[in-house]
Structure 1
Amino acid sequence: MAVIRIEISDPNYEVENLRYLTVQSSYLGGRGDATVFVPPNTDRLTGLPLVILLHGVYASHWAWTRHMDVHNRLANQISKGLLPPMVLVMPSDGLWSSGSAYLPHSGKDFEKWIAVDVLEAVLTKIPQVNEESKKFISGLSMGGYGALRIGIKYGDVFNAFSGHSSITNLDQMSLFVEDDLGVFNPESKDEYILNYIIENKGILSPFRFDCGTEDILIEHNRMLHNQLESIKVPHIYEEFEGGHTSSYWQEHIMSSLQFFATFLNKFKE
């Protein structure tokens, strides 16, 4: 069993409907943390959709709430009837060096920490989520790479996935960190998102990705879009004004939540 023990914060001390999980995981060989947003007034509901959000380099599980305020923005949309109640799960990447890239390496499996352990922890400790819940995954920068890659590989788990300002090939990690990238890629395998899409076309779920026109990764995202067009893989790609910044992700994560909502009966277009 990968999950060994799960601790959850006391609901009596919740602020802004945020809960905190600490999971002892055999995949990590230790503990990993996650922030969970449970929408207000959902105590008696179950089967709510679940969205996993992955952070970028240097950061941790708190980045989506304390840099992007995503939970309050979602709560506002829910209160207006513009989005359905969704549970947001924002895990750490495993806290390896400057960023794990959400890949298996260094004797740990940061991919399965997200795709297996985080889901098990939420299903165990958050009663608003169950096996019938629709499941989605998104992320930014390194987290965009992780969300795209995991979403592609686990098409039987995630109903849709997305990326924002995403790294599209592992070598682009060098634009943000100085660590030896060889540790991610011991067999020199190309870790390009396109390759995973080609390998997993049979289980591919719907997906979207976007990038800012002033982002350091814009040309890489355009290239991936063009290659997907050339091999006729259905997807949504959008560009918006902005750079590789928290303000960009704060605004455009809502595009992914709206995209995910279209796969829920009440909000289908």
Structure 2
Amino acid sequence: MSFRTFESASIGNGIHHVTVKSAALHRRADISFYVPPDAAVEKLPLIILLHGVYGSHWAWLYKGRAHEVLDRLIKEENFPPMMLAMPSDGLWGDGSGYVRHRDADYASWIVDEVPDAAAEIDARCLGATRFISGLSMGGYGALRLGLLNPKKFTAISAHSSITYVPPQMRDFVEESLVEFEITETDPLAVIECAKLAPRLPHLRFDCGSEDILIEHNRTLHNDLQAAGIPHVYEEFPGGHTWDYWHEHLADTLRFFRACLTL
């Protein structure tokens, strides 16, 4: 896929900011990328990190310091270099939910266009293993889009996830459920997407024991168990905070590294 317009700026130390004209969204959209400097590899696995409500493409980079977590693992744990793609959700309302609306396809933006933009920054991600992760609303996006696209994503890892959009977004966003004008034909509940998948990517998710979404995550875990769907679920101390997500992004990255050899 080619973009009608593609504006990029490298600000040094492997960080790139990009604005493209998105065919899926019918407007411009932003992505931040991180490529570890001196990554001497032929193929560069791609990790898409999705932000939560109110956020944008800079959230994982500057609030989550995702690149610092990756750099630390490369240095301390002989972690293979990977590319981080951190897109905006399309900036609809307080959060698009990463689903198809009547006026824009926020799912296709992530699944189809973000990897194409990544290849414009570093072609080594073409044909490389692809992963998806996110937090809160972005955790939902990672779970749902990963499960619905098992040929495109090798593994999914989510943090503090909403598990059903739009109902569980009611307490977070200003927009009413009707205003979303969702036109999806695939299921919206994560558990139904998992049951629908002909084959599953490797799947893990976690949640803080003091998180406002903990019961939704426990229910998803129990429902996956009841359906016999393999997954890893973990709970850690903590709430719905960037301190939690920054700390446990390392668990996601380690899970993805393990999936490279499976």
Q: TM-score, normalised on structure 1?
A: 0.92
> Which of 130, 138, 141 in structure 1 is aligned with 2:136?
141
Identity of aligned residues (%): 45
Map of 1:41 onto structure 2: 38
Map of 1:110 onto structure 2: 106
Q: 1:16 deviation in Å?
A: 3.2
Q: 1:185 deviation in Å?
A: 5.2
Map of 1:150 onto structure 2: 145
| Distance in 2 between residues matched to 1:8 and 1:218, nearest whole Å | 38
> Which of 163, 166, 174 in structure 2 is aligned with 1:168?
163
| Distance in 2 between residues matched to 1:188 and 1:109, nearest whole Å | 9
> Per-residue CA shift, 1:74-95, capped at 9, x if unaligned?
1121022342111000000001
Equivalent residues in 2 for 1:55-134, closer than 5 Å: 55-131=51-127, 133-134=128-129
Call closer, same or farther: CA 1:130–1:124 in 2, change over 3 Å: same
Does the 8 Å CA contact 2:206/2:234 hold for their aligned counterparts?
Answer: yes
Does the 8 Å CA contact 1:28/1:109 hold for their aligned counterparts?
Answer: yes
Q: 1:230 deviation in Å?
A: 0.8
Q: 1:2 deviation in Å?
A: 7.0
Q: TM-score, normalised on structure 2?
A: 0.94
> Which of 143, 154, 164 in structure 2 is aligned with 1:159?
154
| Distance in 2 between residues matched to 1:239 and 1:185, nearest whole Å | 34
2:198 is the counterpart of 1:195: no
Q: 1:178 deviation in Å?
A: 2.1
Call closer, same or farther: CA 1:60–1:186 in 2, change over 3 Å: closer
| Distance in 2 between residues matched to 1:114 and 1:55, nearest whole Å | 12
**What is the RMSD of the two structures over their aligned residues, measured on CA atoms?**
1.7
| Distance in 1 between residues matched to 2:137 and 2:181, nearest whole Å | 15
Does the 8 Å CA contact 2:202/2:259 hold for their aligned counterparts?
Answer: no
| Distance in 1 between residues matched to 2:172 and 2:232, nearest whole Å | 26
Q: 1:168 deviation in Å?
A: 0.5
Does the 8 Å CA contact 1:2/1:27 hold for their aligned counterparts?
Answer: no
Call closer, same or farther: CA 1:150–1:220 in 2, change over 3 Å: same
Q: 1:4 deviation in Å?
A: 2.5
SS at match of 2:28: strand
> Which of 257, 260, 264 in structure 1 is aligned with 2:260?
264
Structure 1 unaligned residues grouped into runs of 5+: none
| Distance in 1 between residues matched to 2:181 and 2:18, nearest whole Å | 30
Structure 2 unaligned residues grouped into runs of 5+: none
